[in-house]
Structure 1
């Protein structure tokens, strides 16, 4: 990227140098005051400055004011060529409009200023040596030369300074674009990771729980086929229903749609059905109640509440050995509050955990901007409290 910006910057000055060289050659040829042979020789020398600059200064690719050996070689050659051309024809001093900016392009400020002073004062010396400068004209010529030096130094320095700033600005814009592309790539990667985590949670909170229910019921059916066929048939029906729900949930996860339980019902109805299914499958009574005035909540919050409730009951079935579960959904003015309390064995919340359930619940709640609280101890059951922000004024 930097090289292309450098090419554009040099390209602008190559165009200027070519135009200035052509104009200088035409002006010299239009004023053959020293005769055609000397005039043509002067024009050819000025014309030669362009290819010399092209092959010496431009290929250096060192940027503005590099003070490289190529730069100094060009300055020396250009100065010598100018002196000879100026000696052949006075109109060759037009070439100062070519070399002055170039000196500031290839040298730093002080060396470039010195080179301009040398080439201007050297021109006065050349005129004196060829006998073109009368004694009475020395003072005026020197004064004019000093003025030309001052103007050349000032404007050449300003032009090259602006050029340098433009080049640096172009490089900065290029770097910003590269950084924007990097940020976009990182955002895409982060989004993909977040989506994978979301799908993992969805699968854990729905499909894994459903398969666990199917396995549990399958083990129960094996022992009931002979001793209690009626109960076995009921459990097989539950297995079929659970498998159908798992199939529907897998399709909705792939399509990233609203969970099936919330598609055509309210949150409290969906939670009530989950509680009823859990009680029927696990044989553990669940007392589920709703407090406050029910109201629609943002779909994302309802999904979080449903998944947390499903995972909490799944943990009760797998780990708590509870005799009963009390659950409630409270509609507060600024939040939805879900609580699940079981009278099971409890556990040490600070101990390392191998499963994904609690961490997945915490991640869901945290992403939704809510709070997750867990109170438990050995022999004292477990109380789970989740608060999700759902102010009334934000409800559609």
Structure 2
């Protein structure tokens, strides 16, 4: 415990100390009264001083102990009064020296070890010196008194070392607790930052896979309508209807994203039905021949898997429209016992898979599939079309929103 360091509340408020002090005080008073000296008045005064000294501790020092600093003015005041009152009491009746068993820990709790040792030495040596000056002693009695005093001082030094060791352990424990709290705060901040980044990435993919694609379809249909108004009004009306439908779906998607619900196409529909509607809308929008083939026994899939599968089909078809210049595309759903496989194939220009990893659509699809424990694969070559393949477990990680992370 260093000078000025705030006292450890745990060390001074332990209930065992209070019981110990009370027992020592009562025992000392009883022994003093049971072993009177030559003067009955001196014995009574000695007993009263024992009670007064402990009363000062209980009424003045102890209530403020947790809030004062070691070596404070209050601590030194109590130490000075202890030296004076204890010396008088011990000279009047040597049995009052038993109060040292209580005063020693009290002093060490109020002062740092080195000053406390000096005070304990004074509490032992001053009564001895007073008795040697006032009373006549034989050489044997002098040696005996000095030996007893040396023993008490030695015990006090041992006690001081224990107090210092406990104080250092408490200080080290306090420092470690503070460090742990700081580390916990850092971990919490990092977790929050990573969670925010993951959420931003998820929302970015959602916007890319839904609203951006829907607006792209609307733009494509708008250009088609401009060329059809005069020469093919029927086709223009059909495409205007598709624009309205796409705009309505985009509005539903935007509301769904805000409300953090599942994809609009999946509301009240199975995965196969949602993919079929996506294929039909894409065929009407682009004019490219695309067909859906479903094999196996359709099984119940989790909401997270439905989201990933539908987004995979939507993004794959959007890539076909943007980059493939294909005349035909096929979407295949294959249900197995514990998984569902999705293939999207086109007969377009193809691409170099090693150069396609930077495309956000492909990286987003791969990330989605990996997050639910699936496997993503891209097969393509220039001039040979492209096949996107994903295998997904039937049940993915649960989420309160029903979204893939």
After TM superposition, the score normalised by the length of structure 2 is 0.74
Q: How does 1:261-340 map to 2 (within 5 A)?
A: 261-340=265-344
- The answer to whether residue 130 in structure 2 is matched with residue 129 in structure 1 is no
Pair 301,46 (structure 1): closer, same or farther in 2 beyond 3 Å = closer
Contact 1:261 1:270 in 2 (8 A): yes
Deviation (angstroms), 1:237: 0.6
Deviation (angstroms), 1:239: 0.6
Moved more, 49-58 or 229-238: 49-58
Contact 1:42 1:84 in 2 (8 A): no
Pair 293,167 (structure 1): closer, same or farther in 2 beyond 3 Å = same
- The answer to whether residue 215 in structure 2 is matched with residue 214 in structure 1 is no
Contact 1:46 1:82 in 2 (8 A): no
Counterparts of 1:59 and 1:38, CA distance in 2: 30
Give 3-state SS (helix, strand or coil) of 1:369's partner: coil
Taking only aligned residues, the RMSD between alpha carbons, in angstroms, comes to 4.7
Q: In the alignment, what sits opposite 1:369?
A: 373
* Structure 1 alignment gaps of length 5 or more: 62-67
- Given candidates 195, 198, 208, the residue that maps to 1:194 is 198
Give 3-state SS (helix, strand or coil) of 1:350's partner: helix
- The answer to whether residue 224 in structure 2 is matched with residue 223 in structure 1 is no
Moved more, 73-82 or 254-263: 73-82
Contact 1:49 1:78 in 2 (8 A): no
Deviation (angstroms), 1:381: 2.2
Pair 132,229 (structure 1): closer, same or farther in 2 beyond 3 Å = farther
Pair 202,146 (structure 1): closer, same or farther in 2 beyond 3 Å = same
Deviation (angstroms), 1:178: 5.4
Counterparts of 1:250 and 1:44, CA distance in 2: 80
Counterparts of 1:47 and 1:84, CA distance in 2: 17
Give 3-state SS (helix, strand or coil) of 1:268's partner: helix
Contact 2:91 2:127 in 1 (8 A): no
Q: In the alignment, what sits opposite 1:64?
A: none
Q: How does 1:1-396 map to 2 (within 5 A)?
A: 8-9=9-10, 12=13, 27=29, 33-34=41-42, 59-60=68-69, 81=84, 85=88, 89-90=92-93, 93-94=97-98, 96-102=100-106, 104-105=108-109, 106-107=111-112, 116=120, 120=124, 123-131=127-135, 133-149=137-153, 151-153=155-157, 157-158=161-162, 161-162=165-166, 165=169, 168-169=172-173, 172-173=176-177, 176-177=180-181, 179-351=183-355, 356-390=360-394
Pair 267,352 (structure 1): closer, same or farther in 2 beyond 3 Å = closer
* Structure 2 alignment gaps of length 5 or more: 399-405
Residue by residue, what CA displacement relative to the aligned partner does 1:202-261 show, whole Å, maximum 9, x if unpaired? 221111111111111011101111111011000001011111111111222222222122
Deviation (angstroms), 1:318: 1.1
Q: In the alignment, what sits opposite 1:65?
A: none
Counterparts of 2:108 and 2:5, CA distance in 1: 21
Deviation (angstroms), 1:319: 1.5
Contact 2:29 2:50 in 1 (8 A): no
Counterparts of 2:5 and 2:202, CA distance in 1: 43
Pair 9,310 (structure 1): closer, same or farther in 2 beyond 3 Å = same
After TM superposition, the score normalised by the length of structure 1 is 0.75
Contact 1:10 1:58 in 2 (8 A): no
Contact 1:75 1:115 in 2 (8 A): no
Contact 1:338 1:387 in 2 (8 A): yes
Deviation (angstroms), 1:5: 8.8
Q: In the alignment, what sits opposite 2:401?
A: none
Counterparts of 1:371 and 1:337, CA distance in 2: 9
Contact 1:312 1:340 in 2 (8 A): yes
Counterparts of 2:168 and 2:14, CA distance in 1: 12
Counterparts of 1:317 and 1:177, CA distance in 2: 54
Q: In the alignment, what sits opposite 2:403?
A: none
Residue by residue, what CA displacement relative to the aligned partner does 1:63-99 show, whole Å, maximum 9, x if unpaired? xxxxx899x9899968965785467544663553454
